[in-house]
Structure 1
Amino acid sequence: MQNSVKNNASTNSTKDGNVKLSLKEKISYGFGDFGNGFMFDLGQSYLTKFFIDTCGMSAGAVGGIFAFTKIFDAFMDPLAGSTIDRRKAGKQGKFRPVMMISSIILAILTVITFTMPDVSLSTRIIYGYATYMAWGLVYSFTNVPYGSMASVMTRDVEDRSQLATFRQAGSLGAQLITGVAFVPILMMFSDKKVGYPVAAAVMAVIGVISFYICFVNCKEHVVVNREGKSEKASAKDYFKVVFTNRPLLCLILMQLFTISAMNTNNQMMIFFCQYNLGDIKLQPKVNGIMIGCSVIGIFAIPFLVKKFGKKKTAITGLIIGIIANGLNFIIPTNPTTFTVLVTVGYVALAIPNGVTWAFVTDAIDYGHWHTGIRKEGVTYAAFNFSRKIAQSMAALVSAAVLGMTGYVANAQQSAETLLGIKGAMTLYPAVALAIAAIVVGVLHNLPDDKYRKVAQDLQEGRWENGILE
C-alpha cells in the first residue's frame, strides 16, 4: 500500500507528497521539550544537591541512586516504545494522547522527588530510589511518544531541521528559566525542605501547560504503511530494526558522550559557583548568560544545516566545544573568563544536540526503508536508552569527583575538591566531546541527499529491498 499524507488547513503538501508544516505547528512542537525541560532539568541540575546537602546523604549514596535509576530508566524506554508501537492511531493520533496524560503524572512525581520524609537515613535513601525510579518510568512514557511524533509530522528535510531547532530552543529555554529562577525561589525559604518542592511545583505546572500547547497544535500528518510485517514484528525484527540501523547506532554512541558532558556541566554548576567562584548567587547569572546565548545560537541551525549539512554542522560545534572547555580547565579560575568560555562551550554543544533531533527522525525513516519494518517507538527508545545511560555516566562522574576529593556539604572545600569540581565542569566535557566528534566523523552514513532518496522511496511505497506491501 502506498503511503499517503493527510493535510489540514494549517499545512500544505509539496509535489512529492511531503507535508509542509506551519510556523505555529513548529513552534508548538518546541513547547513539548520546553515543558519536558521544566521537569527533566530539575533532576539533572538540583536533585544531587538536594539529596546531599538537604537530605544528608553521602555523595556515594547519591551517585548510586542516579546510576541505578538511570539504568532502570534506560530499560523502561524500550518497554514504553514497544507499548506505544502496538497502539492503534485514534482520533487524536497515536503518540499525542500518551504524551499528554503521562506529562500530568510526571509533573506530580517531579514535586514528589523533591520531598523527603523525616525518617532514618537508610529509609531516606530507599525513598530516593523509589521516587526517582517512578519518575523515570513515567518520563519514558512522556518523552518517547513526544520524540517519536516528529517522524509522523513531516518528511520534509528543511521542516525537520526546523522542528529540531524549535525543540532544542524549547529545551534550552526551559534550562534558562529553571537555571535562573529555581535558586531564587529556593532562597525565599529558610527551610530548604519546603523551598525545593515549592520551586519544583512552580516549574512542573509550567511544564504541563507547555505540553498542552504542543498537544493541541501539533498533528500526526504522515500516514505510514503499518500492514503485514510492520504490525507483526517479532523479537528478531526488533533486533533488526535497531542493530542494522547504522545512523541510529552512531547517534547512540554520540549521545553517550554529548549528553554526559552536558549533564555533568549542569550538575556541577551549582557546586562550582558556590565553592570555586565563592557565591552561589552567581549560579543564576552564569546560567542566564550561558543558556541565554545558547537559545539565540541554536536558531542558526537551519541556516548551517542548509549550507553545510547536518554532519559537518554537528562536528564543527563539537570541535569548538572541545577547545572552549579545554581552555577553561587550563586558565586560572575567575568569574569573567569562566563565564565567557563556558558560554562558548555550551553554545557550541547546543548546536550538535539540536541537530541530533533531526538525525533521529531521519534514522527512524532509514530503519523503515532499510528493513521494511516501521517501529518509531522502539527506534526512538533505543536512541533514548543511550541518553539515560549518559545521564547515569554524568551522575557517576559528579558523585565520584565529590566523593573522591573529600567534598563536605556546606563547608569550605579543600584545594583538591575545588580542582575536582573544576575538572568535572570543564575537562570531562572536553574529553567527552572529542570522542563524540570522532564517532560522528567515522560512523554517520546518512547525508541529506541520501535521506531525500529514502524519503522519496517511502513516499512511493518502496523500501531498500522491494515494495512495501
Structure 2
Amino acid sequence: MQKISWREKIGYGIGATGLDLSYGLFYSYLSIYLTNVLGIKSAFLLILAPLARIWDGVNDPMMGAIVDRTNTKFGKRRPWILIGAASNAIVLAFLFNASRFVSGGTALYVYAAAFYVLWGMTNTLADIPYWSMVPSFTSDEKERNLISTVARTFSGLGQGIIALFTPIALKKISAQADGSPSAQGFGTVSVIAAVFLVVFAFVSVTFTKERRIVKSEEGFSFKKALSNITGNRQLLVFMLFAMISNAGFYMISGVSSYYFAVVKGDIALQSTFNLFNTVGSVLAILVVPVFSKFMSNRNIYIFCLSSAIFGYIGMAVCGLALNTGVIPLGVFYFIASIGTGSMFVNQTIMLSDVVDYGEYTTGKRNEALTFSMKGFLQKMAYTFQSIIMYATFIATGYDDFTQSANAVASAAAQRGISLLMFAVPPVMMALSLIIFIRKYKVHGALKAEIIEAINKKYADDKPVG
C-alpha cells in the first residue's frame, strides 16, 4: 500500500483552511453585505449569479485543461495553487471593501459585478489544482479516505473560523447604531482572511509532493473539454446529486445571517448557532475513517445524507412550528452538520474515484478537468440557492426593507427568510439521496476492478517535489 506521511497530509490540509476562509466569507456573507450594507437590489443579484455561471462554464474546464497541460520542475499543480491563492486574496479584499472605492449608483453595480466574477475566476485558479491532487496521492481506498478526511477537516476549520468569528467581528467593528453590520467590519474581516489565504497556500505547497504527473498533450478547446466531461457518465451523475445537496447546505449557510440579523434581530446569535455546526463538522471527520472499517463508502454516504435530512427536519420543527430559541435549533444543526461534514469528505473521495473511472473507461486521466467540475458544481449549487433566495426576496418585498430606513422587515419578508432557512434544505437533501441511490455506480465489484487496473498502470510512479 502506498503510504503518505502525516507531515505531508497535514501540510496539504493547511492549504484548504486558507481556501475556505475566502470561500466561507464569499458564500456565507457576500449576499448580506451586498444587499444590507451596499444596498444592491435583489433583482440585480438574481441576474448576476446565473450570468457569472455561464462564464464559469467556460472558464472552469479551461483552467482544468491548462493545469493538466502544465509541466514545471515544481509540478503541474503547486505553481497554480500559489498564483490562484494570491490573486484570490487580492480580489477578496477589494470585493468586501467596495465602499472605499465607489460611493454608489451605476459604478457600485459595475464594481460589484466585476469583482464577483473575478472572485470566481481566481478561486478556480487555486481550487482546481489543489483538489485535483487527491487522486494523485494514491489509489488505496483507506489511504485516499484518510487524505480526503484530513483535507476536509482543515477545510471545515477555515469555514468554522469564518462562521464563528465573523458575526462577532461584524458586531464589534463599527456596527451601525441598530447593531447591524457595517462596511468597515466586512472590509477588516476580508483583509485578515486574505492574508492567511496566501500564508497557508505557501505552507501547503512547501510540504506537499506531486505524484502521477501525466501531462495532457491536447490543446484546450471547449468542445474537447465538453466531450471529456460528458464522456464520463458517472461524473455527470455525481455533479447532479452533489449540486442539489450542496445547494441545501448553502441555503442554510447563506440565509442564516439574514435569519438572525433580520428575523431574530441580532446577528451575533449566528455565532452561537454556528458553534453547533462547527462542533458537528469536527466530529464528522471521524465518520469516514471509522465507519469505513465496517461499511462501504456508498453506505457511509447514505448515512451522511440521512443524518442531514433528520437534522434539517428537526430544525424546521423548531424554527417554523415551535419558534424556539437558538439552542434547540443548534442541537439539530449539530446533527445535520455531522451528516453534511462527512458528506463533503465523501464527495471528495467519490470524485477521486470518478477520475479513476474516467481513465478506466476512456484511457484519459483528466484529474484537473474532472476536479474543475467540483468547483463548478459548487458555484452552480450556490447559484441555485441564490436564485431561490433572491426570487423569494423579490416576492416578499425584502428590498423595501433594505432600500428604506425601516428598522423592521415586513412579516412577509421575515416569513420568506424562515421558509428558506428551514423548509427548502431537507427537500434538497432528500432529492439528492434518491438520485445517488438510483444512479451512482462506482462501488462494489466495479470499483475494485478499476483500482486494480489503475494500480498496475502506475506501479513504477515516482513522486515530484
TM-score (norm 2): 0.89
Is the alpha carbon distance of 1:54 and 1:342 closer, same or farther for their aligned partners in structure 2, counting shifts above 3 Å?
Answer: same
Paired amino acid for 1:210: F
3-state secondary structure, aligned to 1:437: helix
- State whether residues 273 and 279 of structure 1, in contact with CA within 8 Å, keep that contact through their aligned partners in structure 2: yes
Matched, 1:97 2:76: no
- State whether residues 16 and 154 of structure 2, in contact with CA within 8 Å, keep that contact through their aligned partners in structure 1: yes
Report what 1:3 is aligned to. Answer: none
Displacement after TM superposition at 1:221 (Å): 2.5
Partners of 1:366 and 1:293 in 2: CA distance: 32
- State whether residues 65 and 225 of structure 2, in contact with CA within 8 Å, keep that contact through their aligned partners in structure 1: no
Displacement after TM superposition at 1:194 (Å): 2.2
User: Sequence identity, in percent?
Assistant: 24
Report what 1:467 is aligned to. Answer: none
Matched, 1:112 2:83: no
1:375 aligned to 366, 369, 385, which one?
Answer: 366
1:200 aligned to 174, 190, 193, which one?
Answer: 190
Report what 2:296 is aligned to. Answer: 309
3-state secondary structure, aligned to 1:92: coil
1:389-443: CA deviations, max 9, x gaps? 1111111122222222222137312332222112111211111101110111011
Matched, 1:425 2:382: no
1:103-252 equivalence runs, <5 A: 103-116=85-98, 117-190=101-174, 192-224=182-214, 231-232=217-218, 238-252=225-239
Report what 1:8 is aligned to. Answer: none
Report what 2:12 is aligned to. Answer: 29
Partners of 2:227 and 2:49 in 1: CA distance: 31
Alignment length (residue pairs): 440
- State whether residues 358 and 365 of structure 2, in contact with CA within 8 Å, keep that contact through their aligned partners in structure 1: yes
Report what 2:381 is aligned to. Answer: 390
Task: Single out whichever of 366-375 and 378-387 deviates more from structure 2.
Answer: 378-387
- State whether residues 284 and 337 of structure 2, in contact with CA within 8 Å, keep that contact through their aligned partners in structure 1: no
Displacement after TM superposition at 1:55 (Å): 0.8
Partners of 1:443 and 1:305 in 2: CA distance: 22
3-state secondary structure, aligned to 1:307: coil
CA RMSD of aligned residues (A): 2.0
Structure 2 gap ranges (5+): 176-181, 459-465
Matched, 1:351 2:342: yes
Paired amino acid for 1:416: A
2:69 aligned to 76, 86, 89, which one?
Answer: 86
Paired amino acid for 2:309: I
Paired amino acid for 1:106: N
Partners of 1:172 and 1:458 in 2: CA distance: 30
Partners of 2:116 and 2:49 in 1: CA distance: 8
Report what 1:10 is aligned to. Answer: none
- State whether residues 39 and 110 of structure 1, in contact with CA within 8 Å, keep that contact through their aligned partners in structure 2: yes
- State whether residues 294 and 350 of structure 1, in contact with CA within 8 Å, keep that contact through their aligned partners in structure 2: yes
- State whether residues 405 and 417 of structure 1, in contact with CA within 8 Å, keep that contact through their aligned partners in structure 2: yes
- State whether residues 294 and 347 of structure 1, in contact with CA within 8 Å, keep that contact through their aligned partners in structure 2: yes
Task: Single out whichever of 441-450 and 156-165 deviates more from structure 2.
Answer: 441-450
1:107-134: CA deviations, max 9, x gaps? 1111111122343422211111001111
3-state secondary structure, aligned to 1:308: coil
1:423-467: CA deviations, max 9, x gaps? 1112111111011101110111111553333122123239xxxxx
Displacement after TM superposition at 1:233 (Å): 7.4
1:360 aligned to 341, 347, 351, which one?
Answer: 351
Matched, 1:68 2:51: yes
TM-score (norm 1): 0.89
Is the alpha carbon distance of 1:240 and 1:52 closer, same or farther for their aligned partners in structure 2, counting shifts above 3 Å?
Answer: closer
- State whether residues 325 and 341 of structure 1, in contact with CA within 8 Å, keep that contact through their aligned partners in structure 2: yes
Report what 2:286 is aligned to. Answer: 299
Task: Single out whichever of 236-245 and 430-439 deviates more from structure 2.
Answer: 236-245
- State whether residues 273 and 329 of structure 2, in contact with CA within 8 Å, keep that contact through their aligned partners in structure 1: no
Is the alpha carbon distance of 1:223 and 1:195 closer, same or farther for their aligned partners in structure 2, counting shifts above 3 Å?
Answer: closer
Matched, 1:333 2:319: no
Is the alpha carbon distance of 1:66 and 1:239 closer, same or farther for their aligned partners in structure 2, counting shifts above 3 Å?
Answer: closer
Partners of 1:185 and 1:105 in 2: CA distance: 25
Is the alpha carbon distance of 1:125 and 1:135 closer, same or farther for their aligned partners in structure 2, counting shifts above 3 Å?
Answer: same
1:269-280 equivalence runs, <5 A: 269-280=256-267
Paired amino acid for 2:351: V
Report what 2:440 is aligned to. Answer: 444
